[in-house]
Amino acid sequence: MADPAPPNAYASTNRLRDMAVGERPQERLEKFGAAALSDTELLALLLRSGTRGQDVLTVAGRLIAETGSLAGLVGWRDDDFMRFKGVGHVKALQLVAAMEIARRVVGQQAGEEPLLNRASLVATYLQPLAAGLEVEKFWVLCLNRKSRLLKRVEVTSGTATAALAHPREVFRAAVRESAASIVCAHNHPSGDPAPSAPDIQVTRLLREAARAVDIELLDHVVIGRAGADPTGRGYFSFREAGML
């Protein structure tokens, strides 16, 4: 990630102060609603204040310019935000919390529970949750008899090199939710979803455990990013690869 530009690379005028009162983000929010605000204005409202020489709109604009979009900030940690003048420890933690809320909201689909009977649907469902994660997380998707989601259970979360979940924990969640079948999934922080040797070994153990408890293991899907995947799909399916 590139170092942020030095403060003198940005105008020192206070854009917020120079704005007409009715054009300031808070007043525009009250008058027109949140949808009328730009990404920079929304982020400025979260930041609340800038710093000497840089108003809050300038600070917000610099943050978004660093990643190219508001979505690019979702995976940032507090120390990433604190590299920017005007963002202290408390503000950084507030931004991390706001980005995590955004990630979770995207992952919670309203209305009828999602159909997850194909790897592509599983990837579409989980990729917003996996975006920007720097650690591996392992999920069990507990499904009903129509392959619709009953509950998503996060079984493990750790470093990028941590061992995957034990089958005992996986099927404990499935039994607890009275699942007819399950899909297991985990992310690769590198973005390349190609399975590792441990991934293959765990899948074999999961397949044997599924037979023992009579709960079908529909698939094990590895979530990556399309840009880092040689196939361009952004995920790997053990079922589609004939390995399950």
pLDDT string in tens for the chain (244-residue length): 445 554 444 445 566 555 555 567 788 888 888 888 888 888 888 888 877 777 888 888 889 898 888 878 887 888 889 998 889 899 989 998 888 887 777 665 555 588 999 999 999 999 888 887 888 999 999 999 999 999 999 998 875 455 578 899 999 999 999 999 999 999 999 999 999 999 999 999 999 999 999 999 999 999 999 989 999 999 999 999 999 9
Residues 221, 126: Cα–Cα separation, whole Å: 10
CATH, range 7-106: 1.10.150
Task: Locate the domains of the chain by residue range.
Answer: 7-106, 110-237
CB 138 within 8 A of CB 184: yes
What superfamily does domain 110-237 belong to in CATH? Answer: Cytidine Deaminase, domain 2 (3.40.140.10)
Q: Are 191 and 229 in contact (CB under 8 A)?
A: yes
Q: Give the integer Cα–Cα distance in Å for 45 and 153.
A: 33
The answer to whether the 7-106 and 110-237 domains have the same CATH topology is no
List Cβ neighbours of 212 (8 Å cut-off, separation of 6 or more): none
- The CB density around residue 22, as the number of other CB atoms within 10 Å, is 9
Give the pLDDT confidence score for residue 11 in this predicted structure: 46
